[in-house]
């Protein structure tokens, strides 16, 4: 993606000035326009340039979000939802200025229904906060994207992470939500039944819509019982192909693996040095199993046999929490370990997802591309889903390097789509991947535009995100 590919949004200076005045009156100290705060509320996690909003509204209720959206709608001014800003594709940038709605103060846990394994929360609750709160109930919320993101942001980007292979993504784990739509009305998309055939699936339409259709102000989430036992371990393989075959057989056999992470040789090298552990420098799988005491032992043993049949092993595993933590430590430290491969560099994390039969081929082709382009870029993947991340180490101030990494990411996206995959498994489109949506979805993009135009005719909800620039206006 060249920076020139970012979808541009025209600034409406007059409208912005009017809204700044209105919100200062309405929210007083909770409306901020200082440069530092504005820049903190723009994109800050990658080389995508920071495009700050004109003001930040720290809302505390759905009604306040409605008031902000109504003011912005009246004056045709962009509204951008903000959680804690950990998104990776420019989701929170304000290319046409406008108002950032900071939801981090809406962080109350409203209800935990233990018998129904669900809870109702405000969008600013983070996943760590929720799991801390749930600790004594025997329940937990499984989705873990790495960062301690807000659950509203995770829903908006359809986030997932290491244990999606067992528990699904935000798509499967949001039971219903409340969103403030572009006209300022609040809509609740469902009740608490585990399933429903009643009408269009507005929950799934809003999950993953990245704030472009509405701002999520409440969520009802599915919870899981904390497993009785957990086993976990690490298993080296001679090649990516061998590791990948073991993953496929594990899934085919119906082993309910909770995590199955692929780490490539370069990443293992970095981890070995960083964590000072005796790992091999070949592709490895890190695994975790959840279930009964007997179940997690059986799962681990069965996987060990699959690994051996594929030339892998030894599979070192344990059910003892401290030992498991030690075995997994390197995986948890992967990001920090990676940075040591090129001290001073910044890591650009990108993700794609392919059918698991194509995973080894896609990772291998990507490794070849990295070598050919002279990049340093380790790979870790959520192998059970065919989802993997490349962390390209770069100097973001070197325009040539930025351009090189952009070419690399573009080729990666095109490669994944050509293998019947997607240009993003869990990061979202934002600004960074808007240029690839047409290649992936074809005429589906026009249907997305029709929906966007119907629900947000003024294009005030997080404009410039998801939908690529188009010569033709939506009809």
Tell me which of 298, 308, 369, 401 binds a second copy, using CB under 8 A: 298
- Site residues for a second copy, window 262-291 (CB under 8 A)? 290-291
Task: Report the nearest approach of a second copy to the CB of residue 342 (Å).
Answer: 28
Pairing of strands 99-102, 55-58: parallel
Report residue 411 CA to chain centroid gap.
21
The C-alpha atoms of residue 140 and residue 134 are separated, in whole angstroms, by 6
Token pair in block for residue 14: 């007059």
17/454 with CB nearer a second copy: 454
Token pair in block for residue 204: 């799934």
169/366 with CB nearer a second copy: 169
Tell me which of 280, 295, 313, 396 binds a second copy, using CB under 8 A: 295
54/385 with CB nearer a second copy: 385
Site string for a second copy, 222-241 (x = CB under 8 A): --xx-xx-------------
Q: Taking Cα atoms as reference points, which of 128, 129, 99, 115 lies closest to residue 225?
A: 115
User: Which residues, at least 6 apart from 31, have a Cβ–Cβ distance to it below 8 Å?
Assistant: 23, 24, 55, 56, 57, 58
Site string for a second copy, 453-472 (x = CB under 8 A): xxx----------xx-----
Site string for a second copy, 423-442 (x = CB under 8 A): xxxxxxx---x--xx--xxx
- Site residues for a second copy, window 73-102 (CB under 8 A)? none
Token pair in block for residue 10: 């025209």
Task: Report the nearest approach of a second copy to the CB of residue 400 (Å).
Answer: 29
The C-alpha atoms of residue 383 and residue 295 are separated, in whole angstroms, by 22
Instruction: Return the SS3 of 16.
Output: helix
Give one word for 395, left, alpha or beta, with left for phi > 0 and alpha for psi -120 to 50.
beta
Tell me which of 17, 25, 110, 294 binds a second copy, using CB under 8 A: 294
Residue identified by tokens 């899934």 is 251
Task: Report the nearest approach of a second copy to the CB of residue 203 (Å).
Answer: 8
- Site residues for a second copy, window 32-71 (CB under 8 A)? none
User: Which residues, at least 6 apart from 263, have a Cβ–Cβ distance to it below 8 Å?
Assistant: 271, 283, 284, 285, 286, 331, 334, 379, 380, 381
Site string for a second copy, 102-141 (x = CB under 8 A): -----------xxxxxx-------------------xx--
Residue identified by tokens 């929720």 is 130
128/185 with CB nearer a second copy: 185
Length of the chain: 475
275/422 with CB nearer a second copy: 422
- Site residues for a second copy, window 391-430 (CB under 8 A)? 416-417, 420-429
Tell me which of 28, 254, 372, 397 binds a second copy, using CB under 8 A: 254
Task: Report the nearest approach of a second copy to the CB of residue 163 (Å).
Answer: 12
Residue identified by tokens 């996943």 is 127
Which sign, positive or negative, has the C-alpha torsion 276, 279, 283, 286?
Answer: negative
Token pair in block for residue 457: 């005719």
- Site residues for a second copy, window 367-386 (CB under 8 A)? 385-386
Tell me which of 29, 443, 471, 472 binds a second copy, using CB under 8 A: 443
135/191 with CB nearer a second copy: 191
Report residue 93 CA to chain centroid gap.
16
38/120 with CB nearer a second copy: 120
Judge whether 403 and 395 are in contact, CB under 8 Å. no
- Site residues for a second copy, window 149-208 (CB under 8 A)? 157-160, 164, 168-169, 171-172, 181, 185-202, 204-205, 207-208
Task: Report the nearest approach of a second copy to the CB of residue 454 (Å).
Answer: 3
Q: How many residues bind a second copy (CB under 8 A)?
A: 99
End-to-end CA distance of the chain: 27
188/318 with CB nearer a second copy: 188
Task: Report the nearest approach of a second copy to the CB of residue 298 (Å).
Answer: 6
Q: In 178-333, which residue ranges form alpha helices assigned H by DSSP?
A: 202-206, 240-252, 265-275, 293-309, 321-332
Task: Report the nearest approach of a second copy to the CB of residue 311 (Å).
Answer: 18
């Amino acid at each position: 993606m060249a920076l020139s590919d970012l979808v541009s949004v025209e600034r409406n200076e007059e409208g912005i000035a009017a809204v700044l005045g209105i919100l200062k009156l309405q929210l007083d100290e909770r409306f901020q326009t200082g440069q530092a705060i504005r820049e903190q509320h723009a994109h800050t996690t990658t080389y995508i340039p920071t495009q700050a909003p004109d003001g930040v509204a720290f809302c505390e209720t759905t009604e306040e979000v409605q008031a902000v959206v109504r003011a912005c709608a009246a004056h045709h001014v962009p509204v951008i939802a903000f959680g804690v800003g950990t998104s990776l594709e420019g989701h929170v940038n304000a290319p046409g200025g406008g108002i950032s709605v900071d939801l981090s103060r809406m962080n109350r846990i409203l209800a935990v229904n233990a018998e129904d394994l669900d809870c109702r929360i405000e969008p600013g609750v983070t996943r760590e906060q929720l799991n801390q709160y749930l600790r004594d109930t025997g329940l937990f919320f499984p989705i873990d994207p790495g960062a301690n993101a807000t659950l509203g942001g995770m829903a908006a980007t359809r986030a997932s992470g290491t244990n999606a292979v067992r528990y699904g993504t935000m798509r499967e784990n949001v039971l219903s939500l409340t969103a403030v739509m572009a006209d300022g009305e609040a809509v609740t998309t469902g009740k608490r039944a585990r399933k429903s055939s009643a009408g269009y699936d507005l929950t799934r339409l809003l999950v993953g819509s990245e704030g472009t259709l509405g701002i999520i102000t409440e969520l009802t989430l599915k919870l899981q019982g904390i497993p009785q036992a957990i086993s976990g371990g690490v298993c080296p393989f001679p090649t990516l192909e061998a590791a990948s075959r073991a993953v496929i057989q594990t899934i085919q056999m119906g082993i309910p693996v909770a995590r199955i992470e692929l780490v490539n040789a370069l990443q293992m090298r970095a981890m070995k040095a960083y964590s000072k552990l005796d790992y091999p420098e070949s592709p490895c799988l890190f695994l975790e199993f959840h279930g009964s005491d007997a179940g997690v032992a059986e799962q681990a043993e069965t996987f060990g046999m699959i690994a051996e049949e594929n030339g892998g092993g030894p599979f070192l595993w344990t059910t003892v929490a401290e030992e498991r933590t030690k075995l997994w430590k390197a995986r948890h430290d992967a990001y920090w370990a990676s940075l040591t491969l090129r001290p001073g560099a910044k890591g650009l994390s990108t993700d794609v997802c392919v059918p698991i039969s194509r995973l080894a081929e896609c990772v291998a082709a990507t490794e070849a591309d990295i070598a050919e382009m002279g990049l340093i870029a380790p790979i870790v993947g959520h192998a059970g889903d065919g989802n993997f991340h490349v962390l390209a180490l770069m100097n973001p101030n070197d325009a040539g390097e930025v351009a090189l990494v952009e070419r690399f990411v573009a080729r990666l996206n095109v490669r994944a789509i050509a293998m019947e995959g997607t240009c993003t498994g869990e990061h979202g489109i934002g600004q960074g991947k808007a240029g690839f949506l047409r290649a992936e979805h074809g005429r589906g993009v026009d249907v997305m535009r029709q929906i966007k135009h119907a629900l947000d005719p003024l294009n005030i909800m997080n404009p410039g995100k998801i939908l690529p620039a188009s010569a033709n206006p939506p009809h």
